[in-house]
Amino acid sequence: MKKLVLKNGIKVIYKKIEGEITSFSIALNAGALEDNGAKKGLAHVVEHMVSKGTKNRTEQEINMQCDELFGFENAMTNYPYVIYYATCLSADLENAFELYSDILLNPTFPEKGFKEEINIIKEELKEWKDDINQYCEDELLFNSFKNRRIKDLIIGNEESLNSITLEDVRNFYNKYYCPENMVISVVSFVDFEFVIKHLEKYFGSFSRKFQGIEEEYYEDNKSSIFTKVKENIEGAKIQFLFPIHDLSSREIDILRLFNVEFGEGTSSILFDEVRTKNGLVYDISTRIDNSRGIKLFYISMACSKENVSKCIDLVNNKIEELKNCSGYFTKDKMLKLCRRLKFKRALALEQSIRLSMQLALYEIMYGNANKVFDEVKGLENIKEKEIVQVIIKVFQKPSIQILQPK
């Protein structure tokens, strides 16, 4: 893997792989964390609007050329970032760079179609709420925090969307779409020199002063159980939330290794306790989100309405038991967990587009694309005492969201 900074400040991450396919991603710290205020959803609107037309192409021409060049292309706005990503034949890479440079560097943000695009996002807002798991998480975040941006939806709400103007879009774009705030990752068999030459050609003239991003803000969660009744669902959803923003990098690595045993797969501690032994859930999993401005640990379950209290008690009891464990995390078990974690990471990065996205995101959020590979190294020396200390530190005062039928 190679890393280079173009003269204008754009960071380039290059990873050579075999094959005729090239995947590339363009990431910026220009997500929902940067639209905190009355204009929530603005970052997502900008993502939509950059492809509505450029100085050189109409929206129709952009759509047509994207279909011609890319086997897959998309964009996504999250809280800490926005990312544009695509896969093409390596023979078409120069044309792909030219097209995406035009989209991201030369948008005109036309008046025509702006209101229609806002209406499309409002429809997306309705569909967002149809995803029950996402809806439960959104309720959990809203109830758990008072001031954090993550308590409100990435795409905003109808009121905030109605308040967004084209001037807002242009101001946000000019503030955050800057060379020093951009990472381009390329995963390809094409030579590094070719990649850099053509990135310089199409992105090298991009120039705009970068004013910086919003400071990361965290707060203690409201530790409570929140219940909401929702129509037209059969079973109940339960989600636990634990903040992890106070953990060091070493503690995050320990938590990640512990979680392989705690909540990943059908042999995990939670699956065995809540489903295998007690038959109370049909789905249970855990997730770590260490992204900038988020930094949370989740436990998610799906069960019948009648079993909600039993499931919560079982999880809480198992956590308390683990805080006092001794002799469970043996050296042999630790080696097996390290092997499983490395295998899961390798499997997740097998597709070039996923690898490209992760390299760009790790560089834009953490300033270190190598972390994609390095965070699964050197874990074999973790001791049980360290795991217990992290368990005690993390699993203290959860916020719990219950979404249940009438």
What distance in Å separates the CA atoms of residue 21 and residue 102, rounded to the nearest whole number?
Answer: 22
Residue 357: its pLDDT value, please? 97
Rounded to an integer, the average pLDDT of 320-327 is 94
133-168 residue pLDDT tens = 999 999 999 999 999 999 999 999 999 999 999 999
Q: Is it the case that residue 169 has pLDDT exceeding 90?
A: yes
Q: Is it the case that residue 171 has pLDDT exceeding 90?
A: yes
Place of tokens 């050579």: 16
What distance in Å separates the CA atoms of residue 153 and residue 155, rounded to the nearest whole number?
Answer: 5
176-186 residue pLDDT tens = 999 999 999 99
Could you tell me the pLDDT band of residue 36, with boundaries at 50, 70 and 90? confident
Q: What phi-psi label fits residue 207: left (phi over 0), alpha (psi between -120 and 50 degrees) or beta?
A: beta
Rounded to an integer, the average pLDDT of 228-249 is 94
Residue 295: its pLDDT value, please? 98
Q: Is it the case that residue 38 has pLDDT exceeding 90?
A: no
Q: Is it the case that residue 406 has pLDDT exceeding 90?
A: no
Rounded to an integer, the average pLDDT of 282-296 is 95
Mean pLDDT across the chain: 95
What distance in Å separates the CA atoms of residue 271 and residue 263, rounded to the nearest whole number?
Answer: 7
Question: CA angle at residue 299 from 294 to 301, to 5 degrees?
Answer: 135
Residue type, 81: Y
The model's pTM is 0.94
Q: In which order are the strands placed within the sheet that holds 182-188?
A: 2-5, 11-16, 182-188, 21-28, 82-89, 70-77
Q: Is it the case that residue 378 has pLDDT exceeding 90?
A: no
Question: CA angle at residue 245 from 269 to 226, to 5 degrees?
Answer: 65
Determine the CATH number of domain 225-404.
3.30.830.10
Q: Where are the domains of the chain?
A: 2-203, 225-404
Assess whether the region 2-203 and the region 225-404 belong to the same CATH fold.
yes
Helix orientation angle between 249-263 and 331-348, rounded to the nearest 10 degrees: 90
Place of tokens 């909600």: 308
Domain 2-203 has CATH 3.40.190.10: no
pLDDT > 90: percent of the chain: 91
Rounded to an integer, the average pLDDT of 267-279 is 95
86-132 residue pLDDT tens = 999 999 999 999 999 999 999 999 999 899 999 999 999 988 878 89
Q: Is it the case that residue 9 has pLDDT exceeding 90?
A: yes
